[in-house]
Homo-oligomer: A and B are copies of this chain.
Amino acid sequence: MSGQRVSCGVEYAHVHEISLALQESGRSGYDFVSVPLVHPRFVREHIEGKAKDRPGAFTRSDLLLTSSDWNSLVVGRLSQTSCVLCESEEWTVRSNHEAALQQELTYAAHLGLPAIMVSLTSARCVNLARLLHNRVAAGVSYQVWVKVSLQAPCDLSRQLRSDMPEFDSDFMTDTWTWWNRFHSIANIEKKIGVALEITADLPEKDVMERWLGEPIRCAILPTSIFLTNKKGYPVLSKLHQSLVKCLFKLHVQFIISGPMRHSHVKLYQQYLDHILSPEGDALVDFARGYEDFLQCPLQPLMDNLESQTYEVFEKDPVKYAEYEKAMVEALKEKIPDELKDEKEIVVMIVGAGRGPLVRKALAAAQIAQRKIKIYAVEKNPNAVVTLQSQQDENWGNLVTVVSCDMREWDAPEKADLLVSELLGSFGDNELSPECLDGAQKFLKDDGICIPSSYTSYLSPVQSSKLYNEIRQSRERDKHILAHFETPYVVYLQNKKELAPSQPLFTFSHPNRDSVIDNRRYKSLQFKIVIDSVIHGLAGYFETTLYKNIKLSIKPDTHSKGMFSWFPILFPLKEPIPVRCGDICEIHFWRCSSKKNVWYEWCVTSPVITPIHNPNGRAYTIGL
């Protein structure tokens, strides 16, 4: 149901003939319909078993549509009254409406619907959450879409406040807390997601963004939020457009609801289809299909990369251009213009792979008009084959190919420039520090390292989607702890960053400390500005290649179009609920043994977690 093209349904308050409704909606360009499971006139009394005695069926027959239509085109809505009254404190009222819901849920399963929808209208939803959770836990085919409005109606929140004096008023009017309460109780399943109803007034930025960390399956657009343009067509305000585009990136489906306010219902679908056409951005294009997909970080030092991996990353349109600029600057710095023909600059590319930096170094020498001599050092014998063939065919004696681990190479001379591309999503996590510490013995005292420094960044993020992905991989594999003590490389989309990222560990090269120690320990404090839930820590890096030439994957300084790195995610074993004003304190260690490097982490405020990955028990990076 997701993909490039927008998937759009239409909601019917009630239908007389469901097959006609389907025909009409299909002709208008819609992909599916949302209808009540049971007509409100079928009043049911389950008290004292009387329901059995009432004559006639309680809803329409399954024969009205083919199974394949039920299975793919119809979202069934549970009775609103029963959803509310199954929270009643009166035993008979509650029991009656529980039974009504159970009957509807059973019927939805009988029809084989792809999804059912249930509405939350207050934070009083514990019993409803339990009923649905238990149904899903027992095994059902349908998804559960939990309809929540972006904003609580004013009169409703006033009423709720008098109903539930035990809760503070923010709690009552913040609809996200309703959903969070429901989802926290019923959170074991991917099957339960949000159907977010967009309101005419949009809440403030943080409130909107927080929804982007939730598993939104569907966005409901009431016709009342559409404006009318000069030609009489429905359009959305700029803010609404931008929200709808964000949601579309999360593969959300849309539903048009409410009375038609324009000449034809098809106009709403056509408008959405119009504004939701793909954008042109190298990173977005590259990353399509990788959204929120968990990958294990590469271990290029311990493992040899495959040809395809090299091929993908060599295509980055930004990274190598910046390396070239940095090398031009460094070559000019090394030898002043007046001496440029007299001296030769020794450039060593360590971890040369299949040669992209060799090519950029040759290009940089041309631009800078400097004479250079290149050593291309590579430990992967498969990549060395590619290097040697280029040397034979193109580079000639400008380039010397060395098949060796840079930490062990006995270089015949010392370098003016040491160029490497050993950075991972977290900067140092592919062991660039250890490699370059080994390689710098053949750098001249006044030699230059490119990159000259890099810094990892960390921020707390909310993403129940990613948390559940990790948990479910855990349940499959039965490695109880390992999945929550392992970082993941992931193109983070369905998430909310709860505070701006902060710098964590910095490494500079060459490292002239008397004792080189790449272990680190730092604690960071983040101020939380909105009630939310921390599911993990997002990691990024910035690097200075040379002087002011930088690369970054940190959201606010991201090098536009660069796709070589997705962020890294350090999970937490348990979600941490936080309130506005809380301080989130994170402790992070970079540890090492003779064989490995690893990270350990924990949270100490507002609650305390155990150490994650102690002794590197779940995840290490091999030296």
How many angstroms between the C-alpha atoms of A94 and B181 in the bound complex?
Answer: 43
Q: Which B residues lie within 8 Å of A137 (CB)?
A: 614-615, 617
User: Is A134 part of the binding interface, using a Cβ–Cβ cutoff of 8 Å?
Assistant: yes
Judged by a CB distance under 8 angstroms, whether A589 is at the interface is yes
A263 to B127, CA, bound (A): 67
Interface residues of A in 558-594 (CB under 8 A from B): 574, 577, 583, 585, 587, 589
Q: Assuming the A-B contacts A48-B514, A480-B475, A480-B480, are A130 and B611 also in contact, with contact meaning beta carbons closer than 8 angstroms in the complex?
A: yes
The answer to whether B523 and A602 touch across the interface, beta carbons within 8 angstroms, is: no
Residues from chain B with a CB closer than 8 A to the CB of A604 are 126, 181, 185
Complex Cα gap A617–B519 (Å) = 46
Bound-state Cα–Cα, A94 to B587, Å: 15
Chain B: CB-nearest residue to A514: B48
**Nearest B residue (CB) for A515:** B48
A187 close to chain B: CB less than 8 A: yes
State in angstroms the CA–CA spacing of A609 and B480 once bound together: 19
* Cβ-based interface call for A100 (8 A): no
Q: Mark A590-612, 1 if CB is under 8 A from B, else 0.
A: 00000000001010100111110
Contact status B188-A610, CB under 8 Å: yes
Please name all residues of chain B whose beta carbon is closer than 8 Å to the beta carbon of A525 when the two chains form the complex.
166
At the interface, yes or no: A478 with Cβ under 8 Å from chain B? yes
| Residues from 112 to 142 in A contacting B, C-beta threshold 8 Å | 126-127, 129-130, 133-134, 137-138
How many identical subunits does the complex contain?
A: 2
Contacts of A478 in B (CB 8 A): 478, 480
Alpha-carbon distance A134/B47, docked complex (angstroms):
59
Whether B185 lies near A611 (C-beta < 8 A) is yes
Whole-angstrom CA separation of A188 from B127 in the bound complex: 34
Looking at the assembled complex, report how far the CB atom of A535 sits from the nearest CB atom of chain B, in whole angstroms: 14
A607/B95 contact (C-beta < 8 A), A515-B48, A602-B130 known: no
The answer to whether B180 and A608 touch across the interface, beta carbons within 8 angstroms, is yes
Interface status of A337 (Cβ within 8 A of chain B): no
Q: Please, which residues of chain B bring their CB within 8 A of the CB of A609? A: 184-185
A608:B184 contact, CB within 8 angstroms? yes
Does A311 count as interface, using CB distance less than 8 angstroms? no
Q: Would A133 and B95 count as touching, CB distance under 8 A?
A: no
**Does A49 count as interface, using CB distance less than 8 angstroms?**
yes
Are A94 and B611 within 8 A (Cβ)?
Answer: no
Most buried by B among A127, A129, A585, A611: A611
A600 nearest CB neighbor, chain B only: B130
List B contacts of A523 (CB < 8 A).
Answer: 126
- The chain B residue sitting closest to A519, CB to CB, is B95
Choose one: B95, B480, B600, B610; the contact of A187 (CB below 8 Å): B610
A188 / chain B contacts, CB cutoff of 8 Å: 610
A53 to chain B, nearest CB (A): 14
**Residues in B whose Cβ lies below 8 Å from that of A185:** 602, 604, 608-611
Check B610 against A184 for contact (C-beta < 8 Å). Answer: yes
Q: Is A186's CB within 8 Å of the partner chain B?
A: yes
With A126-B523, A126-B587, A615-B138 as given contacts, are A186 and B610 in contact (CB-CB < 8 Å)?
yes
Contact A602 B49, beta carbon cutoff 8 Å: no
B126/A607 in contact, CB under 8 A: no
Shortest A479–chain B CB gap in Å is: 11
Q: State whether the Cβ of A286 lies closer than 8 Å to any Cβ in chain B.
A: no
A127: chain B residues within 8 A (beta carbon): 521, 587
Which A residues between 62 and 94 are near B, CB-CB below 8 angstroms?
91, 94
* Contact of A344 with B by CB under 8 A: no
A517 within 8 A of B: yes
A587's nearest neighbour on chain B, judged by CB, is B126
Q: Which residue of B is nearest A520, CB measured?
A: B91
Name the B residues within 8 Å of A514 (CB-CB): 48
Cβ contact within 8 Å between A607 and B480? no
A329-350 with Cβ < 8 A to chain B? none
Q: Mark A189-220, 1 if CB is under 8 A from B, else 0.
A: 00000000000000000000000000000000
- Name the one of B133, B587, B602, B608 contacting A577, with C-beta atoms under 8 angstroms: B608
In the bound complex, residues from chain B placing their C-beta under 8 Å from that of A607 are 184, 577
Contacts of A166 in B (CB 8 A): 525, 583, 585
Binary B-proximity of A96-113 (CB < 8 A = 1, otherwise 0): 000000000000000000
Complex Cα distance, B610 from A186, in Å, reads 6
How far is B8's CA from A521's CA once the two chains are assembled, in angstroms?
A: 40
- Chain A 33-48, CB-CB to B under 8 Å as 1, else 0, gives 0000000000000011
Q: How far is the CA of A535 from the CA of B142 in the complex (A)?
A: 35
Bound-state Cα–Cα, A253 to B129, Å: 48
CB-based nearest B residue for A182: B608
Q: Which residues of chain B are near A614, meaning CB under 8 Å?
A: 130, 133-134, 137
A486-541 interface (Cβ within 8 A of B): 514-515, 517, 519, 521, 523, 525
Q: Say whether B133 contacts A94, CB under 8 Å.
A: no
**Is A130 within 8 A of B608, CB to CB?**
no
Chain B residues lying within 8 Å of A95, measured Cβ to Cβ, are: 517, 519
In the A-B complex, the 8 residue pairs with the smallest Cβ-Cβ separation, listed nearest first, are A184-B608, A134-B614, A48-B515, A137-B614, A577-B607, A134-B615, A130-B611, A126-B587
Further contacts, 6 of them, CB under 8 A, given A134-B615, A184-B609: A130-B614, A134-B614, A184-B610, A186-B610, A478-B480, A480-B480
Q: List 7 A-B contacts (CB under 8 A).
A: A95-B517, A134-B615, A138-B615, A184-B608, A185-B608, A478-B480, A577-B608
